[in-house]
Amino acid sequence: MLLALTGATGFIGQHLLRELPKRGYRLRVLLRRPTSLSVQVGSAVIGDLARPRNMSAALEGADAVIHSAGFTQGMSGIPEDDYRVLNTEATIDLARAARRAGVKRFIFLSSIRAQCGPTADKVLTEADDPHPTDAYGRSKLAAEQGLAELDTDWVALRAALVYGPGARGNIAQLTRLARSHYPLPLRSISARRSLLGLQNLSAAIETVLKAPGTLRQAFIAADVEALTVGEMIAAMRRGLGRKPNVFSLPPVLLGALFRSCGREVTYQRISRPLVVNPSALIRLGWRPQLTAQDGLSKLMQNDANK
């Protein structure tokens, strides 16, 4: 299969650029500007997704599109209109071009934030009504809704927080904490959070690529096992060959400690759950390759061996 890939220079795109050829796929990379890539690809096309011109010609002959380009959650200073232009309108325009080019399936890397805010009081499935709480999540949901109005076969993968080499944001903060030699008072936080390893994401993409029939739906993608923050740190430190060194502190004192460091918002987030259920994707045939604990441990082990 020939796959057209957007976002090849991003965190997820760089991984797919390396991983998909190993799985036997040919790649055509759609780039905003000329750049050097870490691996050989079959072809590359230069163009601006926000100003598509003759994109159908660029997609000619592709069997599927994997669309990972876009503004990510947490980018500072990005107006809501910019999220809408790149994450929503450009996605829909690209899907239209793919349909005109005869592409069989359009795979959109969405986000769990299209379905909810930073926390959720119950385990979420695709059957729950989506209620995004920020511009990023709203732009992703609007893109999904736009795809649903097109006469094309599409899939949206609502990915939980993705971890792997080169991850930024919350995962980068966790890795810094895990590398520190200080004992951390995080064991008393019982809220669990869903994550998604890059390897499991690659397997999810391959599952929807190979699925027979017409899909036209969103799937939640997350490691089966949700972890507490303390368990995440323990798994990472195990990968570094160290003991967890995580202890309990009464929640009142822990909250006060976070407030004294100016991290009250962080504490409010990690002390509440965000657990999602990927059973629909599993029923489709997805088989996660790693548990969350093993994935986090392997992430740090690979980092330590560099």
* pLDDT-derived band at 19, boundaries 50, 70, 90: very high
> What pTM did the predictor assign?
0.92
Is the Cβ–Cβ distance between 212 and 275 less than 8 Å? no
Per-residue confidence (pLDDT) for residue 121, from 0 to 100: 93
For the segment 153-169, the average pLDDT, to the nearest whole number, is 95
Per-residue confidence (pLDDT) for residue 35, from 0 to 100: 59
Per-residue confidence (pLDDT) for residue 196, from 0 to 100: 98
Per-residue confidence (pLDDT) for residue 279, from 0 to 100: 97
pLDDT at 171 over 80: yes
pLDDT at 297 over 90: yes
* Segment 207-257, tens digit of pLDDT: 999 999 999 999 999 999 999 999 999 999 999 999 999 999 998 898 898
Comparing 29 with 214, the larger pLDDT belongs to: 214
* pLDDT-derived band at 160, boundaries 50, 70, 90: very high
3-state SS track over the chain: CEEEEECCCCHHHHHHHHHHHHCCCEEEEEECCCCCCCCCCCEEEECCCCCCCCHHHHHCCCCEEEECCCCCCCCCCCCHHHHHHHHHHHHHHHHHHHHHCCCCEEEEEEEHHHCCCCCCCCCECCCCCCCCCCHHHHHHHHHHHHHHCCCCCEEEEEECEEECCCCCHHHHHHHHHHHCCCCECCCCCCCCECEEEHHHHHHHHHHHHHCCCCCCEEEEECCCCCECHHHHHHHHHHHCCCCCCECCCCHHHHHHHHHHCCCHHHHHHHCCCECECCHHHHHHCCCCCCCHHHHHHHHHHHHHCC
Distance separating alpha carbons of residues 180 and 104, to the nearest angstrom: 48
For the segment 40-56, the average pLDDT, to the nearest whole number, is 63
Instruction: Calculate the dihedral angle through the C-alpha atoms of 86, 87, 93, 95, rounding to the nearest 10 degrees.
Output: 140
Distance separating alpha carbons of residues 213 and 192, to the nearest angstrom: 35
H-only helix segments in 46-118: 55-59, 80-83, 90-100
* Segment 126-137, tens digit of pLDDT: 999 999 999 999
For the segment 101-115, the average pLDDT, to the nearest whole number, is 97
Is the Cβ–Cβ distance between 140 and 111 less than 8 Å? yes
pLDDT at 38 over 90: no
pLDDT at 280 over 70: yes
In our burial notation (b when 16+ CB lie closer than 10 A, e otherwise), range 159-171 reads bbbbbbeebeebb
* CA dihedral sign of residues 15, 17, 22, 25: positive
